[in-house]
Amino acid sequence: MAASSARAALTSIPLFHEKLRKSNRILAVCGAGLSAASGLPTFRGAGGLWRNHNAVDLATPEAFDADPGLVWLFYAYRRHMALNVKPNPAHYALAELARKKPGFRCLSQNVDNLHVRAHHPPSQLSLLHGSLFSLKCTTCPWTDPYNTADPLCPALAPAAESSPDPTKPLPLLDPSQPLADIKESELPHCPDCKKELVRPGVVWFGEMLDEQMLEDIDEWIEQEPVDMVLVIGTSSFVYPAAGYAERARTEGRTSVVTVNLEITGKDWESMAEGDFGFEGDASLLLPELLGPVIGEVKGEEEG
């Protein structure tokens, strides 16, 4: 195929629709771009700063040990932000695809709870990095799977404020404004062991993903060939999407479909025949791409 007609095949919506209709075993891997379409800052990627801290440096067990008040403020702020945005049409489209295609499984790196709020069937959703709205004890097995208190405790109230002057950044986000020193005794403590601090139920850098969840995903991938891998809001050439796309690919059968705000020249070159790439906002693209299977979806949260 000439380069131009190869590219045309990669971006053809009718060809994608044809493949989608025939696909039963579909895996989606979702990344930060999906939540960005809801207006949520992601703090990921190069230079993602929160106050004057590199956000990546705050998302470690070491940072929590060193300054649990600061790390909790960062997470309390992210909880507050996530509660104040809504699932977008892409979340609803994926949830509907799960209802229409029982062989669809969605893996998401996002911790913002937006898939759950869009009623994605829980048995077809794996939250790879946990959730901002689950809590766990730093030491004993206690967990609270769903807690949306905002603020979580009085000491974390600065993270749940709205800006007194909308033209200025929230004092919490302005590194020139000092933070109140939060004592450990003011942070939530485990109701079970009554001794240790409670921490966010997310996977931090340097921590392992849930072993049982990973085993279940592996088992699903190995059961039968996968017809389609949808990579949404992240590149299909970076971890973990790249790993899943590679493992799920059966030559000549599996289409890897990238839906992302930006698809690089190198990404296009790396695509195989039968793959697809759609560049743009996932919240606009997914309802159109999945339309022939899901119909017109009016997403609404329950009251």
Phi, psi of 300 (to 5 degrees): -145, 135
Contact segment (CB under 5 A) with Zn ion among 79-87, 101-109, 130-138, 149-157 equals: 130-138
* Between 196 and 267, CB nearer to Zn ion: 196
Q: Is position 190 annotated in a ligand binding site?
A: yes
Q: Is 193 annotated as a binding residue?
A: yes
Q: 120 catalytic, yes or no? A: no
Task: For residue 182, give Cα distances in angstroms to 55, 69, 125, 187.
Answer: 19, 5, 36, 8
C-beta closer to Zn ion: residue 30 or 137: 137
State the minimum distance, in angstroms, from the CB of residue 199 to Zn ion. 10
> Is 30 marked within a binding site?
no
**What is d(CA 28, CA 8) in angstroms, rounded to the nearest whole number?**
23
> Is 137 part of any known ligand binding site?
yes
- Which residues, in sequence order, are CB contacts of 288 under 8 Å at separation 6+? 13
Q: Of the candidates 66, 140, 238, 272, which one interacts with Zn ion according to CB under 5 A?
A: 140
| Complex with Zn ion: residue 139 or 177, whichever CB lies closer | 139
For Zn ion, the binding residues in 190-219 under the rule CB under 5 A are 190, 192-193, 196
Say how many CA atoms lie within 13 Å of 162 toward its Cβ: 5
**187 part of the interface to Zn ion, by CB under 5 A:** no
Which one of the spans 136-144, 152-160, 256-264, 274-282 is the region binding Zn ion (CB under 5 A)?
136-144
**Annotated active-site residue in 115, 120, 129, 189:** 129
> What are the tokens at 100?
């229409």
- How far is residue 143's CA from residue 40's CA, in Å, rounded to a whole number? 26
Question: DSSP E strands: which ranges in 209-287?
Answer: 228-232, 255-260, 276-279
At a CB cut-off of 8 Å and minimum separation 6, what does 141 contact? 192
**Residues belonging to the active site:** 129
Q: Which residues bind Zn ion (CB under 5 A)?
A: 137, 140, 142, 190, 192-193, 196
Residues at the binding site are 137, 140, 190, 193
